[in-house]
Structure 1
Amino acid sequence: MSTTYTVSVTRDGEWWMVAVRELDALTQARRLGDVDTAARELVLLETGTALDEVSIDMHVELTAGDGDLTARVADLRARRERIEAEEAAVRADTAAFARELAAARVPVRDIATLLGVQCGFGKAGG
């Protein structure tokens, strides 16, 4: 069973400061991608809990001047997720409609032209 620790991450110069709230302990990481490992290793050192039994709930706090950048990061991520979901839905709808058109004996190349997609056919080597 995994234990989850809450981690606050802030930028300090060239380092990410990693605070494990439940342990009142601090470490650092050079890259944001290294925070999870650094936090789990800190938990191991402080508690003896095996790395594979530790989960991290990471909260990155970013500020610049007077502005909070954390909300902007969250907004962009949410927007990107919505776009990716919409793209997946459009791909599925396009494939389903292409099958309908093919069943109606519309040539594949014409289906591709109608739907604005590539049909995957082409001359060998060119």
Structure 2
Amino acid sequence: MSTYRVTATRDGDWWSLVAYDVEGREVASQSRRLDQADAAIREAIALVLDIDGDAFEVDISPDLRRVDVSDDTLEALELRRALAELSDRARRRTPAAVAELRAAGLTVRDVAQLLGVTPSRVSQIEKQDHLANSA
């Protein structure tokens, strides 16, 4: 699935959205709020490509150079973005870690303690893994 890089720049009361390298060209849209940016740029890209809006991913990066905020605020935003990325990576790797730790003989409670999840979550992950491997 293709992923299009999108820059969102504040322009007055609007976010200006630009998707780069959509079949060699830029596609633009706008939205009032950042939480509406995904739908707005998807619609524009889908229209240009003549495909369904669910057939691709968008990666929206807000550009705050036109917004008067402190370096501390910019750092907080970057740290939260990095935290979300790390959390996603941990989530994807947790099932394999659960399986490996359980295969090494650790109890469900020990695995939960090591991974920072509840014992019931470890059991859920094991059940999902078992169902996926038996299918």
TM over 0.5: yes
How many angstroms apart in 1 are the aligned matches of 2:5 and 2:85? 24
**2:50 matches 1:48:** yes
How many angstroms apart in 2 are the aligned matches of 1:81 and 1:4? 16
| Structure 1 counterpart of 2:77, one-letter code | V
**1:84-103 correspondence to structure 2 within 5 Å:** 89=116, 92=118
**1:42-121 correspondence to structure 2 within 5 Å:** 42-63=44-65, 64-65=67-68, 70-78=74-82, 89=116, 92=118
Percent identity, aligned pairs only, is 30
Residue in structure 1 matched with residue 11 of structure 2 by the alignment: 12
How far off its partner does 1:78 sit? Answer: 4.0
How far off its partner does 1:52 sit? Answer: 1.3
Number of residues paired by the alignment? Answer: 89
Distance 1:35 1:66, change over 3 A: closer
Distance 1:75 1:48, change over 3 A: same
Distance 1:12 1:77, change over 3 A: same
**CA deviation map 1:39-77 (0-9, x unaligned):** 110111111121110210111111334866554311244
| Structure 2 counterpart of 1:74, one-letter code | E
Please say which structure displays the higher CA radius of gyration.
1
Any unmatched runs of 5+ in structure 1? 94-126
Residue in structure 2 matched with residue 124 of structure 1 by the alignment: none
How many angstroms apart in 1 are the aligned matches of 2:55 and 2:64? 28
Any unmatched runs of 5+ in structure 2? 91-114, 120-135
How many angstroms apart in 1 are the aligned matches of 2:70 and 2:26? 27
User: Over aligned residue pairs, what C-alpha RMSD do you find?
Assistant: 3.1
| Structure 1 counterpart of 2:44, one-letter code | L
How far off its partner does 1:24 sit? Answer: 1.2
How many angstroms apart in 1 are the aligned matches of 2:39 and 2:84? 26
How many angstroms apart in 2 are the aligned matches of 1:12 and 1:37? 18
Residue in structure 2 matched with residue 24 of structure 1 by the alignment: 26
How many angstroms apart in 2 are the aligned matches of 1:4 and 1:80? 18
Equivalent pair of 1:61/1:70 in contact (CA under 8 Å): no
Equivalent pair of 1:15/1:31 in contact (CA under 8 Å): yes
SS in 1 for 2:51: coil
